[in-house]
Every structure is written in structure tokens, then in C-alpha cells.
Chain A
Amino acid sequence: MNDMTVKRILAICVLLAAWELLPRVGAVNPLFIPPFSGVLSALADLNESGELARHTLVSLERALAGLSAAVVLGLPLGLILGGWFPRIQQAAEPLMELFAQANPVILAHIIIFFLGIGQSAKIFIIAWLCIWPITFSTITGLKTVDPGLIKAARSLGLGRGELFLRVVLPASAPSIFTGLRLAAGYAFIMLIAAEMMGASSGLGFLVIQSQESYNVTRIFAGASIITFFAVATDLLIKGVERRVVVWNDTASQDFLKLPRAVPEQS
């Protein structure tokens, strides 16, 4: 364990200690921000009554189903548009940008007309949201493949199919993973909104229900568990990427991060 890891763990401990101590000494109103130990015991209570497992499973199922649907649709869409049909991609791009702007939560009422208020409406909302980052980053990934790589592979006599599978796809993998992580982040944010709008189960419902009964500790318990799953999903995708994309030193960008603005050659 190196020095920085120790410091990082220390920083997290300081945050948790502040969360525990500030309400206890009365620096913030403990009714509004309950101490960390209170939130933990609320989580334990929820766990004992089985509510935690039930709501978490429902939420995870929705998020996972929506995300997988988005991957199943968005990845081939991006590959086909970016790889084979550049003109169709140019024609479709403005429309896809508009679609990406179309917040599915606004359209929730219309989606409910067609799909009912059950599971499928929520999965559709998540899938709609996640499909665009995946498609866009796949197209970007394909377009930014180093032409030198393709030329080298061609001159070594690779066929079209092999060129795609062995060169183009691996070279665009970091960008595809960036899109995946972005999509997963969006999925969790909007899943909670969708569950707050109208659901009878799920973590978003748990938070709204706790709000209606003024159970602040449970609001924090729900929020913590949602944050935990959002972070865990992000780390999971990052981990998968590290196993899959072993050859590349430029990994997918962190959520909300950018390559350096000034190229670092000087």
C-alpha cells in the first residue's frame, strides 16, 4: 500500500467522522442530518425487515435491464453507423442529438400510455437514456482509430471482417467504455427520478416514502445505498475495462473528466 492510498483512506475516514460528529456535537441539526451511525442502524433495520433487499433488487433489475437493452441496441447501431454507413450516420446524427435531448422523464406520461405503469415503462426510460451515450461514443471511437493501424493491418493482408474484429474494435474499446460508464451514471440518476414519479417499489420509492413519513434517517439510508450502487457500478465497468483492454495505456476517461487541454509534448 503506497502513501497516496493511505491518504485517500484517511480522507474518507475524515469525511465519515465529520458526518458522525457534527450532528452529535450539535454543529448541524441532527434532525436534518442524522449522524452516520444512525444511518447505519437504519440500514440494518431495513435489512432485517427485508425491505432493503426487496427495493434494491427491484431497482437493480430495472437499471440492469435498461442498460443491457441500451447496450444490445446502441452498440450495434453505433458500429453500423460509424463503421459502414458514414452518409447515413451524417444524416442521422442531428436526429440522434435531438433524441438524446429528449428527456424520457418528460415523456414519461406518454410512455405510460403505450407501455402501462409497470416495469416495462421504467426499463424503456432507462434504455432510451443510455442508448445515446453508448451510440455516440462508439461512433467517436470508430472514427478516431489511428489510420496508421488500419493501413498497417491492411498491408499485412487482413480481410474486412478480421480488420474490424482484430483492429478497429479493440482500438475503439476505450471510447466505448467511456460511453458505457456515462450511460450507467445517467441510468442511476434517472432511475431514481422515474421511481419517484410513480412506483410502488424500488429505492427511489423508498426515499419518497420516507420523505412522506418524515423519516429523515431513512432518506439518508436510501440515498447512501443508491450512491453505493452508482459508485460500485462505475468501478465494476472500470474493472472490466482493465481486464479487457489490457493493451491500451489510455484507459476510458473518468466520468466528467477530459484529456489534458494542452498536449504534453513540449
Chain B
Amino acid sequence: MHPALKETIGYHALRGSGVTLFLLLWELAPRLGWIDPYFVPPFSRVLPEIGRLWQEGALQLHLVVSIWRAACGLVLAALIALPVGLLLGERFAALSEALDPVLRVLSQVNPFTLMPVFVLFFGIGETAKVAVVAWVSLWPILFYTITGVRGVDPVQVKSAASLGVTQTELLLKVLLPASLPTIAVGVRIGATITFYILVAAEMLGSSAGLGFLVHNSAMNYQIPRIYAGATFIVLLGFLLNRTLQLLERNLFDWQLAAAYRPHGGGYQRSLWQPGRLTVAAGSAFLLLFLILGGVEVQKIDREAAQPASESGGHSHHLGTPVDNGGF
């Protein structure tokens, strides 16, 4: 075998060994009676439970609800934080210095204590949850946008100014692109924290969503189902984080090249670079998902509200076929 290949295999085996060991322990401990298998069902019983949830359609349904809420909140937060951050970072730098303590205190306001307040404003519907999500992701995006704009190389700004660009052009063509890598980190952190908090908020009070799925299983003592839901959520969060990191690396490789290889070393194009068309298609897809998802989520909420008296509430709308706009 080729030594490089051998090394790669060895590396991946090493990286995977921790997880494998844990799964093995999860499988064996209940089987050998180290833990009560009623409370901790072995992994081989949890995995088919995920499949069963998927076949029932429950998993897709709650997944769409959760992702729709997260996406709505993130888009809303980005729409507010990006312009505000760009302006505070460049045009009103002194103002943002003065506002710094206020923003820091506001960012520490606990999203869970805001939930009752948002419910007062928007009712118990989706808007309150989306508002919580938007609040949580607003701060990382805002802070990273400000940091990103401030970190733009002054030489670039001066060159642009000496070439006679207007203020708006400077903002859109120099500052925004140069700070995009930093903004992307903010969006990734926002998305990860948001997902974390959204699921917890769904456990506290909601009639759909992945958090509700777990909570409902616990209320019905379907213990393998709790583990199935939790495992799925953990994997989803992990994948979300990894995908966003991968996107960052691919999208902003020019920045990495400048930062880490200052003396030549060559500029290597990454495997995939989005053109205008990809960006447009992506935005269109997002918009479509937000609209179609919104309609779908409203429907799910209505159905969840109605049969509360009959058939134990939840199980009624499990079988709803879900059309989620091309997932």
C-alpha cells in the first residue's frame, strides 16, 4: 500500500476511534447490565427508532418546522445586523465605541427571559419563537460585522479612496467584501448557538419542532424515542457546524491565501466557487423555503392545536405528508 494512503487511513482510524469506542460502550453497557436498559436502551435499538420516526413522517415534519424557524430568525437577524454593523463599524466608529457597553449588556440579556415578553407582543404563535431566534443570532452577526469592518486593511480603503470611489461604493465594493470572511464566522456562531437555543425553547413550550418531538416522547415515556430524537439533533448540529466551516473555507480561500502564505506559495483555487448564478439560485431557494415553509408551519400549528382533545394530541398529525419545497 502507498505510504501516504496508509497514513491517511491511520489518521482517520485514529480520529474515528473515540466515537466508535463510545458507541460500543453505549451498546454493551445496557446489554451487560451495567446500566438499566430501560433508562438507557442500547444504540442498536435507538438507531431503528430514528428510521421508524422517519417512516412515520414525524422526523421530516419537525425538522422542517425547526429549520424554518431557525432560517427565519437568522435571515431577520442578518437583515438587521449587517447594515447596522457596517454603519457602526465604518461611518459611525465613535458612536459604536460609545455604544459598546450598551450593546454588550443587551447581548447578555437572556433569550429565555425574553420569551414571555415576545409572547406578550406577538402572541404564542411562530413570531415569538422567530423573534427569540433572531435575538440570539443578532449579536454574533453584529459584533463580527463591526470587527470585520474595523479589521479591513487601511491600505485598501486608502487606495479605493484615492481612486475616487464614493462612500456607498466604498461600503459595498471594498468594506463589505473584505469583511465577509469575518461576518461569515459570526453567522456560523449565530447559527450554531441559535439551533442550540431553539431546540431548548421548543422543549419549553411549543407544539411542533425537534425539541417538541423529544419533549413529547419523554411525556409519553417512549424512552428509545428520546434518545433517537436527541441523537438526530446532535448529528444535525454537528453537520450544520461542519458544513458552514467548509463553506467558509471554500468561499474565502483568497483570504486564507493572503493571510497564511504571504510570500508566494501560489494561489490555489478551491474546488468550488459560487458565481452570481449560484448565489442567485441559493437566495431564490432560501426565499422559496421561507415562504412555502411558512405556509406549511402554519398548517402544522393549526393541526397541532385542533386535535388536542382527541387521540392524545400529538400522534394525530404525525402522518401528515410533508411537501417541503424540494428537500
Residues of A within 8 A of B (CB): 4, 7-8, 10-12, 15, 32-33, 87, 90-98, 101-103, 105-110, 113-114, 185, 188-190, 192-193, 196-197, 204, 207-208, 210-211, 216, 219-220, 222-223, 226-227, 230-231, 234, 254-258, 260-263, 266
Contacts and interface: CB of A to CB of B under 8 A. Distances in A.
Contacts of B108: 185, 188, 227, 230-231, 234
Chain A, interface SS category: helix
Interface of B: 11, 14-19, 21-22, 39-40, 94, 97-102, 104-105, 107-114, 116-117, 119-121, 139-140, 143-144, 147-148, 150-155, 178-179, 181-182, 185-186, 189, 196-197, 199-201, 203-204, 211, 214-215, 218, 223, 226-227, 229-230, 233-234, 237-238, 241, 255, 258-259
Nearest to A253: B147
A188 B255 CA distance: 36
B200 A106 contact: yes
Nearest to B203: A105
Most chain A CB neighbours (cut-off 10 Å) among B100, B104, B108, B119: B108
A136 to B, nearest CB: 13
Contacts of B109: 223, 227
B116 A219 contact: yes
A226 B113 contact: yes
A256 B99 contact: no
Given A204-B113, A257-B147, 11 more contacts: A7-B97, A94-B16, A94-B18, A95-B21, A97-B238, A109-B226, A197-B204, A207-B112, A207-B116, A256-B144, A262-B153
Contacts, number: 176
Nearest to A32: B120
A10 B107 contact: no
Contacts of A257: 143-144, 147
Give the 10 A-B CB pairs with smallest separation, nearest first: A109-B218, A223-B113, A95-B18, A260-B151, A7-B98, A211-B116, A105-B200, A101-B237, A230-B108, A91-B18
A40 B15 CA distance: 54
